[in-house]
Structure 1
Amino acid sequence: TEQSFEVDLNDWGEVRFVSYLPTYDTLWEDVSFVLAKDNQIVYHFPAYFENNSTENDSVGMFDSVEAVGFQDIDGDGAEDVIVIINYVTGAGPQGMMPRKTIRIFSSQNKGFVIQHDLIDELMKNMKEDDISIPAICDYVTLMETNEIYDGYRTIYQQYFADEGCDFMISYGANGNSRVILNENEKIIEYLVYDRLSENEKCELYVLYRSKKNADGSWHISEAEILDIFAYSMSTKDVVSSGKTSWSATGSEEHEIN
């Protein structure tokens, strides 16, 4: 009941969004969602899994609905539905620890469709600890801000993908984006969009390394600069400056850009 809401939703008007627990008649039954009006179900949201069962998927068993959001994330003027769902696998020492998954229902043709590609993109590139309704919306906005997101992607593909680095979008306390490339118990390395270059031809990105404290915390203010990259918005090329501080002299090609 805490994840069911009265909402004014697109052409449906005033309806109740209802999250239904599995009946558990079927062991692997998944959560389901409907819209109700005047105590009558008027719409069933499409099931993510075949037969609404997770039995043949590695996601595990349904645990809980963590959050529901109603946002127009694709800019078409209609509200979409974002749901964060927890599952447990029962496998391994942390098997009963709930793991977050994302479900996005996009408003379409007087109903809703599941955005599988977008969900896959988000699940692959967001840190699980960062998953929240606002962070999902921020990520989608970042994707739509093509120059900044494309810069992240291009730098990653040209300099880090072959090294087996991660590409995990995260957000600082100030809401600014960053891409986490490497992380372990001692250090974290990440790419941060900084600003437009003075000649307004390139977006500048900084590669940082931060040492972690004993409690796992770290601070960008104490980070070491490993490199500064220039991403050309016109040619889509990336140049590494080799600079480890803003005052240092970079490569000739970087300085020209």
Structure 2
Amino acid sequence: MKHVNKYLSLALALVLCLSLAACGESNEDYGDDGSDYNLYGVPDSFEGLVKDSEQMANLYIYGGAWTGEDGGTLIVANNDEGDEVRFALYDAGEELTASGFIQFVPDYDYDYFYNEHDGVAYRSWFDEVGALYVAELGTFTKVTGDAPGENTGDIDFEMMAGIWYLDAEADARSILVFDENGGWELLERPGGDGDPTTVDSGTIELAPEDAEEMYLAVSDLYDQVVYEFTLLDHDTVRWGSEFEFYQKMA
């Protein structure tokens, strides 16, 4: 019986040691800067990413211009063929420092920025306030528009944000969605009564004439496609050349 108790005590001590060791290593599961809970040990970077047009990142999430904490600028847009989401990173002196494509990697469940300059893919993520982190490349804040300096102005995107229905009908054939960061999305129901499907999306700019409450919805999906719209009041929009009226209901 004494031998049994002795071995049982040793076994319990071993379990306790292993538990303490596991607790001591748990911090390695988090990102280097502590801003991202990387619980599965996903690599911040790796070499050999194979381009796959079926896994390209969502342009609606990344498209436009971003300002880096170091004063640099990140530009994201589709290529001419429309089958790649491309990025270009410039330093504060406007020198190109990295460029390539953004692609979702299913094995890691993250989007990666593949830098064609060094052949390395860098993991990306967003924090709770919408800042974009790209491992080793920097931290970026969205500048509304497709290039530095565009779409600037006194636009109250938070007031504009919401879901707008054509003719104030809940089952409207056409729906507009504005977000708090200056993005927009146009949805339509196939045949007028199907589930809403996105047909266009992009970013909002002030009209060049700086007309009061007049804006431009610039498409990210189609070249040289721009919709004019006017805020008639806090919950009514006159949209496009057909002067259709949308009411904010959510």
TM-score calculated relative to the size of structure 2 = 0.34
Larger relative contact order (Cα-Cα within 8 Å, sequence gap ≥ 6)? 2
**Which structure has the bigger radius of gyration?**
2
TM-score calculated relative to the size of structure 1 = 0.34
